Amino acid sequence: MAEIQLRDITKRWGSFFGVKDLNLTIADREFLVLLGPSGCGKTTTMRMIAGLEDATDGDIMIGGQRVNDLDPKDRDIAMVFQSYALYPNMNVYENIRFPLKVRKIPGAEHDERVKRAADMVELGEFMHRKPSELSGGQRQRVALARAIVREPNVFLMDEPLSNLDAKLRVSTRAQIKNLSHELKVTTIYVTHDQIEAMTLADRVVVMERGLVQQVGTPTEIYDHPANTFVASFIGSPAMNLMQGTGTGGVFEGANVRIAGLTGPDGPVTLGFRAEDAAVGGGAEITAPVYTLELLGDATMVTVKAGGALVSVKAPKDFRAEIGDEVAISIPAGICHLFDAQTGARLE
Ligand code: ATP
């Protein structure tokens, strides 16, 4: 059992909080992603779990045991970083075997375990190559195999794909997903890339300025963002957000009027996703085209409504000129309402 519990975890340097009052339970075999912009405290959280950083306050429990005072090597955790940190003078086989030697695992087991780990990341045929003779993606897979070979209770992965080019990132991401399904080891994965988070995670923890903003499945976070920060961080393009006033279920802002909402009267922030709205139809907004982007399977139309840019996904054959007036339909059912002051979700 490798359930991980973080209880009131805080990391403070002087008066600066890197992480504040973090409470989280990561289930045995769960794939949990820590997601947030640079500096939000993801890596610090991970380093505290690994034992590379002391928590200022709080308890870190792994499998029911408090590990705050345990050395990293005694926590049964394997880590994969964005820099692969392979030994340049060892070949692939020796690099993967290294953790077994360090841990004094009987030599008779090495061959089989190294081969199994290498096969899992499809490196079987590269065993004799040095890291300098491998591509970036292959090196990252050696790093993965080196973590797998230990058969740890917990995997920690810190932006393992960030040094790879876009295409390799997608294929290695799929490989990590497949591996996690096969290995079923509790995994905490750090990224600032929301697509990586959405595709890999059982649950996502969205962080900002050392604080947890929301914990949920990818679907929960996408469909019910807890606040405007999560709403604008998840999804591409970001959720359209506009300020206005609610009166008896009608939202009115600059250039927009939407009826049939259930929300309070007074100032409110309204949000909707580009893919939920449509061009034509209800004409809750009519505004000039600011830009058109061809996406292949669709056309992203951005209009300038009042001072705000509003994006809507149109069919791929939709065409208009910059400056043309376009009507956008925004049914009440696709709208999210947030507190105008705090940004917290209303409802
Ligand atoms: P990135 O995606 O850029 O790696 P992150 O979310 O992983 O960001 P952390 O590395 O956890 O961010 O850092 C969280 C905050 O703590 C940052 O503002 C950082 O500057 C600060 N921080 C990290 N290490 C220290 C330190 N040793 N002393 C003081 N502040 C630190």
Ligand 1 proximity of 15 Cβ (cutoff 6 Å)? no
Q: Report the residue among 44, 159, 188, 192 best suited for mutation to probe ligand 1: largest number of ligand atoms under 8 A from its CB.
A: 44
Ligand 1 proximity of 306 Cβ (cutoff 6 Å)? no
Q: Which residues make Cβ contacts (< 8 Å) with residue 344, sequence separation at least 6? A: 226, 227, 338
Q: Write out pLDDT tens, residues 219-267.
A: 999 999 999 999 999 998 999 999 999 999 999 997 899 999 998 899 9
Question: Given pLDDT bands bounded at 50, 70 and 90, which one contains residue 347?
Answer: confident
Residue 9: both structure tokens together:
């975890």
Ligand 1 proximity of 307 Cβ (cutoff 6 Å)? no
Rounded to the nearest integer, the mean pLDDT of the chain is 92
Q: Which atom of ligand 1 is nearest to the CA of 43?
A: 7
- In the reported structure, the alpha carbon of residue 122 is separated from the centroid of ligand 1 by a whole-number distance in angstroms of 34
- In the reported structure, the alpha carbon of residue 249 is separated from the centroid of ligand 1 by a whole-number distance in angstroms of 43
H or E, element range at 49: helix 42-50
Q: Which atom of ligand 1 is nearest to the CA of 36?
A: 6
Ligand 1 proximity of 48 Cβ (cutoff 6 Å)? no
Question: Given pLDDT bands bounded at 50, 70 and 90, which one contains residue 182?
Answer: confident
Q: Write out pLDDT tens, residues 44-63.
A: 999 999 999 999 999 999 99
Nearest by Cα to 344 from 274, 276, 269:
269
Residue 143: both structure tokens together:
């790093």
For 237-287, the DSSP string reads SPPEEEEEEEETTEEEETTEEE-S----SEEEEEEE-TTT-EESTT-SEEE
pLDDT of 255: 85
* Alpha helices, DSSP H, located in 79-235: 92-102, 107-120, 136-148, 166-183, 194-200, 218-223, 228-233
Ligand 1 proximity of 192 Cβ (cutoff 6 Å)? yes
Question: Given pLDDT bands bounded at 50, 70 and 90, which one contains residue 12?
Answer: very high
CA distance linking residue 86 with residue 209, whole number of Å: 32
pTM of the model: 0.91
- In the reported structure, the alpha carbon of residue 212 is separated from the centroid of ligand 1 by a whole-number distance in angstroms of 15
CA distance linking residue 52 with residue 73, whole number of Å: 10
Residue minimizing CA distance to atom 18 of ligand 1: 39
Ligand 1 proximity of 191 Cβ (cutoff 6 Å)? no
pLDDT of 166: 83
Q: Which atom of ligand 1 is nearest to the CA of 19?
A: 14
Q: Which atom of ligand 1 is nearest to the CA of 14?
A: 29
Q: Answer whether 206's CB lies under 8 Å from 198's CB.
A: no
Q: Average pLDDT of 141-148?
A: 90
- In the reported structure, the alpha carbon of residue 45 is separated from the centroid of ligand 1 by a whole-number distance in angstroms of 10
Q: Write out pLDDT tens, residues 284-329.
A: 999 999 999 999 999 999 999 988 899 999 999 999 999 999 999 9
Q: Write out pLDDT tens, residues 183-223.
A: 889 999 999 999 999 999 999 999 999 999 999 999 999 99
- In the reported structure, the alpha carbon of residue 41 is separated from the centroid of ligand 1 by a whole-number distance in angstroms of 6
CA distance linking residue 184 with residue 117, whole number of Å: 14
- In the reported structure, the alpha carbon of residue 40 is separated from the centroid of ligand 1 by a whole-number distance in angstroms of 7
